[in-house]
Structure 1
Amino acid sequence: MITDIIKKYKLFLIAYSGGMDSTVLLYQLLKFKEINTDVNIRAIHINHNLHENSKKWQIHCINTCKKNYIPLIIEEINTKITKNIEEQLRIKRYNLIYKHLLHNEILLTAHHLNDQCETLFLSLKRGSGPTGLSAMSSERTFGKTKIIRPFLTKTKNELKKWAEYNNLIWIEDFTNFNTNYDRNFIRHKIISVLEKKWPFFLKNCFRTTKICNEETKLKNILLKEKIEKFLHFHECLNIKNFKNLTEEVCKGLIRYWILLKNIKSPSYKTIQSIYNEIIHSKKKYNIKIIIKKNEIRCYKESLYFIETKKNIKNMIIFWHNVHYKLTLPNNFGYIVKNKKEGISIPMPGNNELINIRFQYDGKILILGENRQKSIKKIWQEHNIPPWLRHQIPLLFYDNKLISALGVFVVNQKNTENNKHKWKISWIHTTKLKYDYFFV
């Protein structure tokens, strides 16, 4: 497979631990570089600082790369992790690697068939469906570039034979024999036994992951076609007609919709909760389902995928100098005084303090209307979901509400400065998902 990769790509970053697998990958690529001189190779070594020999392994990697004229990047992980160590280290490792990837540079890892089988067992332990049982793919998108695993069809024994034949020197990480780690337990206590009983077991595991991967791709193609009629232009999922669909189709559409947000596939339990508590429930409007740092909410027969924000409804921010922009919390942008553009509102009195709040209770007479309405009614008329109502900056003079920026202006009939106007704008530093609500 490496031959095909080199024909297609020329820039590579190798995840190099110094172990046998990544050492074989490094030297095989070097052999091809002798023939294909336009190939550029870099390596990155992540020191996890989990072993007393971590520094020695790092030095070994430095010396190997120096000997072969390969630029090497060294990164260290010093954070103490107490829960889900393997998964947390994997996330930190890939984040560090991605930080160093160049434009059009392909990340190569030395994952092999044994690793694939271990990943399959880990997915079984978690109760994963076909997507999880697909395990690792030989090639997939990695941010703006790709990660390729050229050894995914090769067994560890095949790589070891190549390493020994070419007299390679590598390091042995003895923590790989610590069966307190899930992956090591599967490797030494399960797969080794099964492989002795059935020598073809690893190959069949790979076949299973391949079948699951193909089934997942086919399912996603069909779901992509079906989901189009349920998606609004603002990416929320219309569930009004979900009652006419089977439970399996509903859950499939919800899962696919969430995957469109580029996050890790949600668990079966999460999808079941969304179906039971929102789709299949009459009281669905105050329900929220948490997915890591995000929430699934329902409003007017539509599901919304929103980022969880810090609660700021009780916050007050004073704007003492209007000649300077006022920065808002939660990355909600800033407010600035304008000369020509922006919302036109009465100027404050000389002694009135301008302040921004995010909560108001009571009735309001909006400019242009002839009767007062509760602010809840106003939010509803503007189709603003409940979770967004405490994120819209409310402009006050002292304790008097003047405007919900971008939504309405309060009628100030008794204000002395009503004839004197000024313009201000709410500028978003990041594009809000709900801009279409503001009319």
Structure 2
Amino acid sequence: MIKADALPDSIRDLMVDVPDGSGYWVALSGGLDSMVLLWAAGIFFRKELDRPLYAIHINHGLSPNADHWEQFCREQCALRDIPFQAVKVDVDSAGVGLEAGARNARYNVFSSLLQSDQILLQGHHGNDQVETFLMRAIKGAGAGLAGIPRQRKLDQGMIFRPFLTVSRRELSCCAQEAGLSWIHDESNDDIEIERNYLRHQVWPTITKRWPAAQSGVLRTMALCEDYEALARDLAKGDIDSVQKTLSGWSSVFGLSAIDGALLGKLPEYRQRNVIRVWLQSLGGGFPGQARFERIWQELIPAQSAGSPQICWPEGEIRRFQGDLYFMSSAVSGGIQHCQQPEPAITFDCKGEAQSSLLRFLCVPDARRSGQDGWHCVAVVPAPRAGVRVSMVRRNEGLSSVPSGKSLKKYFQARAVPVWLRGHIPVLCYNEEGVAIPGCWSRKESEFFDQQNRMFIYVQLKTNNEPVKP
């Protein structure tokens, strides 16, 4: 019999493998695997290591029992003195189906939740791995046969899944011996859902004929993972040779880019490997085979006009002036919701201002750029006493612009991607444009205090409260 306040060696060994982080979140559905994870993490991180541990529950609102499950999770966390947060989401299943829509909604929350170096723990187990392998094999996923990754980057943090080598039966035995409670999601019984059909109808038939099938599939996945590692090693050198160096705004918006001309010099199989590994390294996952093929049909060809794009739940890839740009879904979603022109943004007495998408800070001293999402994008002469400082997103109302050009032409000349132009502001002193932070700064102005400098910091808005640098 397992003691409720002590971990068996088999579970402890799995928790020891969790990377060091600034804090830990348990993705808590209330089901068997997540309750074992909550129990194990509570003992290991809270009681033994005294590390910050929290639980997050996503209420999809798809079941009449959804609110009951949320309350169950809340009570279980209260019993263990683990801080609990529940988030209700709207599931958009249009074009992707209910299962994928629910997953997208969850990961949007997880993406905005994790702060720098925090780790989200998920309870996926060996049976989930086998189901994923079979589903992907049936649908021709190719490289995806390595299965669910044990860990991957997610915006500022990381996802880690400690139970991938453990079967559901082992977790069930552990939970029963420890006296744990859990809920049953009735949707897992619906065999109209593909994964459930595989779980309840197909897999039992396979294991009846081949009892060792699960261990065999897991060995095959391990071999696929080895080949994946070889492909990643090859891609690293290729990515270094084709990746573009972008301006300071790429750090603000999280952009990454591949030089299309240099990519085109590689054989096509290495091009595919580069794009796949590049997207995975940026947290973009795999866009699916159909979308992946569209990259070569719509984005790579030299004759492609305009700025075509391909979107999937984790992000999007665009072509601009022959190069490929990746942007995470968290950033692209924010940009899509901030398309309308905004009035001038005036700085307060603390040197702070914000638009619907960005936060700004103008201070007289250098601070640590990159800390908590803040980036120094420009250093300009400070304003003279009494001068009004503001930011604008359009050139209306400016008394002058660089070289007499419109902002559109200025951005075109400097290859600023179209979808960012409306969000890169102009710094104004008394309505005169004196700088486009990170791009251009006026050398002289009657409003300048030439004896002092001003550092302009920018932070992309998220659902987390900002922390000043």
Name the residue aligned to 1:227: 239
165, 181, 186: which one aligns with 2:198: 186
416, 429, 436: which one aligns with 1:405: 436
Shift of 1:326: 8.0
Question: Do structure 1's residue 241 and structure 2's residue 262 form an aligned pair?
Answer: yes
The alignment-based identity, stated in percent, is 22
344, 359, 364: which one aligns with 1:317: 344
CA spacing shift, 1:294–1:346, aligned 2, 3 Å:
farther
Question: Do structure 1's residue 329 and structure 2's residue 342 form an aligned pair?
Answer: no
Q: Which runs of 5+ in 2 are unaligned?
A: 1-9, 247-255, 365-378, 462-469
C-alpha separation in 2, matches of 1:140 and 1:273: 25
Name the residue aligned to 2:127: 114
363, 377, 392: which one aligns with 1:356: 392
Q: 1:358–1:393: 8 Å Cα contact kept in structure 2? A: yes
Aligned with 1:217: secondary structure? helix
Q: 1:46–1:93: 8 Å Cα contact kept in structure 2? A: no
C-alpha separation in 2, matches of 1:56 and 1:12: 25
Shift of 1:220: 0.7
Name the residue aligned to 1:415: none
Q: Specify the code of the residue in structure 1 equivalent to 2:218.
A: F
Deviation string for 1:364-386 (max 9, x for gaps)? 8856xxxx667665444444344
Q: 2:56–2:84: 8 Å Cα contact kept in structure 1? A: yes
C-alpha separation in 1, matches of 2:443 and 2:122: 63
Q: 1:16–1:45: 8 Å Cα contact kept in structure 2? A: yes
Name the residue aligned to 1:150: 163
Aligned with 1:429: secondary structure? strand
Deviation string for 1:82-116 (max 9, x for gaps)? 6244345456657569959998888362x333222
Q: 1:45–1:58: 8 Å Cα contact kept in structure 2? A: no
Name the residue aligned to 2:300: 279
Question: Do structure 1's residue 342 and structure 2's residue 383 form an aligned pair?
Answer: no
Deviation string for 1:58-85 (max 9, x for gaps)? 777788888xx74355554544536244
Q: Which structure has the bigger radius of gyration? A: 1
Name the residue aligned to 2:459: 430
Q: 2:394–2:425: 8 Å Cα contact kept in structure 1? A: yes
Shift of 1:212: 2.1
TM-score normalised according to structure 1 size: 0.67
Q: Which runs of 5+ in 1 are unaligned?
A: 413-417, 433-439
Deviation string for 1:327-346 (max 9, x for gaps)? 453534448699xx835999
C-alpha separation in 2, matches of 1:183 and 1:194: 15
Shift of 1:218: 1.5
Name the residue aligned to 1:265: 286
Shift of 1:240: 1.4
Which stretch of the first structure deviates more once superposed, 235-244 or 20-29?
A: 20-29
C-alpha separation in 2, matches of 1:356 and 1:52: 48
Shift of 1:221: 1.1
Name the residue aligned to 2:136: 123
Name the residue aligned to 2:374: none
Name the residue aligned to 2:146: 134
Q: Specify the code of the residue in structure 2 equivalent to 1:81.
A: V
C-alpha separation in 1, matches of 2:176 and 2:360: 62
208, 212, 216: which one aligns with 1:204: 216
Note the aligned Cα RMSD (angstroms): 5.4
Q: 1:140–1:148: 8 Å Cα contact kept in structure 2? A: no
TM-score normalised according to structure 2 size: 0.64
Shift of 1:191: 1.4
Which stretch of the first structure deviates more once superposed, 254-263 or 56-65?
A: 56-65
Name the residue aligned to 2:11: 2
CA spacing shift, 1:176–1:284, aligned 2, 3 Å:
same
CA spacing shift, 1:101–1:152, aligned 2, 3 Å:
farther
Question: What is the count of residue pairs matched by the alignment?
Answer: 408
Q: Specify the code of the residue in structure 1 equivalent to 2:357.
A: N
CA spacing shift, 1:138–1:426, aligned 2, 3 Å:
closer
CA spacing shift, 1:190–1:221, aligned 2, 3 Å:
same
Shift of 1:228: 1.0
Name the residue aligned to 1:435: none
Deviation string for 1:177-214 (max 9, x for gaps)? 12233322221122122222332322222223222222
Shift of 1:224: 0.5
Aligned 1:376-387 pairs, distance under 5 A: 378-387=410-419
